[in-house]
Structure 1
Amino acid sequence: RRLVPRILVVEDESHLAEGLQFNLEAEGHVVEIAADGARAAARLAANDPPIDLVILDLMLPEMNGFEVARRARAAGNYVPILILSAKDEAADVVRGLEEGGDDYLTKPFRLDELLARIKGLLRRRRWDGVPREEETQRSVQIGGATVHFDRFEIESRAGVVRLTTREAALLRALVERSGQAVTRGELLEDVWGLRADTNTRVVDSFIVRLRRYLEEDPARPKHIVSVRGHGYRFCP
């Protein structure tokens, strides 16, 4: 692996993109700029040379940042994505994380905070969507459904449900701690790479989805149960 990280800045405001490039190059990174979503998607699809981290604005010409992230993940590219946007509504944070974003900063942001987030994302061993044989099961039985972590699928009598990267990661995090109460903070750190004290309901939103996929009666869950004042517990 190359020693110098290559960062793709996807930003249509040229003064901000150039400012980021200047500061990141001063930190020793190689920086490329894509001024619109279509160029960013094409660059990530080619991935030659490989990109180590993406700084992604949401509001872009040609193709928005949500779609750029979604396409990268759908193609099996799990490069860390740091979303930058003036949008700070909770729905945008949740959607950005859902589509594959690993972290989220709203404009205006402090340079030192941005650099700290980048350092953390580059250092952290990201969950890459490909289970390692020695670490986890490829599939697990939950009630009448079979979860295939290697295929991002839940198979049941009702059919097959395709999981997003984060849905699969959240379920895996719970399954690997079967019978244990897991806090929201632990899940934010393990699944999304966010600080445990991040103010977001994204964990709860994703739990609702997993229950819809797996529970016979999502309102009375048997497998993904709430632990009052703590978080959630997986019961096989």
Structure 2
Amino acid sequence: MHILIVDDDTLTGELTAAILEQAGHRCEIVAHGLAALERIAAATSPFDCVISDLHMPLLDGLELEGEIRKLGVSIPFILLSGDDLRATSDQRPGISAHLCKDETLEEALLQAVARL
């Protein structure tokens, strides 16, 4: 899969990419939601999935998901957060999964991507 990772924490973005690349996926990392929108619009090869942090400057993860839908792009969207906000995000039809940034992230991330 071709995956866009959106996270303002460089280390978390790189760790997420490393986990997915080790499983055979191709990843690109951007630091915020506006950069993600620009990258999606300019992509010559469409992304198969977006994995985004929830709390970011400029556009948070939920706002980013909404803006992607406004572009008319239908793409699975996985939300990452240090908070447990599944009840909120699970009510949004555009969110494929909400994963907590904790010690189970690697396993949960690989399972969520495999379900897409």
| TM-score, with structure 1 as normaliser | 0.45
Find the counterpart in structure 2 of residue 142 from structure 1: none
- The answer as to whether partners of 1:55 and 1:84 remain within 8 angstroms in 2 is yes
How far has the Cα of 1:48 moved from its partner? 2.3
What is the RMSD of the two structures over their aligned residues, measured on CA atoms?
1.7
Of 87, 95, 106, the residue aligned with 2:100 is: 106
Gap change, CA 1:28 and 1:91, over 3 Å in 2: closer
Aligned to 1:81: 77
Distance in 2 (alpha carbons) for counterparts of 1:84 and 1:44: 19
Gaps of 5+ in 1: 122-236
Residue pair 1:87, 1:106 contacting (<8 A) in 2 also:
yes
CA distance in 2, matches of 1:112, 1:59: 22
1:91 Cα deviation (Å)? 5.4
2:114 aligns with one of 109, 114, 119 = 119
Higher alpha-carbon Rg: 1
Q: Which 4+ runs in 1 deviate beyond 3 A?
A: 89-92
Give the Å deviation of 1:109.
4.7
Matched with 1:43 is 39
Partners in 1 of 2:19 and 2:38 — Cα distance? Answer: 25
Residue of structure 2 aligned with 1:13, choices 9, 22, 26: 9
Bigger relative CO (Cα 8 Å, ≥ 6 apart): 2
Distance 1:115 1:90 in 2: 18
Residue 31 (str. 1) matches residue 27 (str. 2): yes
For 1:29 and 1:59, locate their aligned partners in 2 and report how far apart those are by CA, in whole Å: 24
Q: What displacement does 1:14 show?
A: 1.1
SS in structure 1 of the partner of residue 63 of structure 2: helix
Question: Secondary structure at the residue paired with 2:41?
Answer: helix
Distance 1:45 1:99, change over 3 A: farther
Where in structure 2 are the equivalents of 1:130-149 lying within 5 Å?
none
Identity rate, percent? 34
How many residues matched?
115
Contact 2:5 2:50 in 1 (8 A): yes
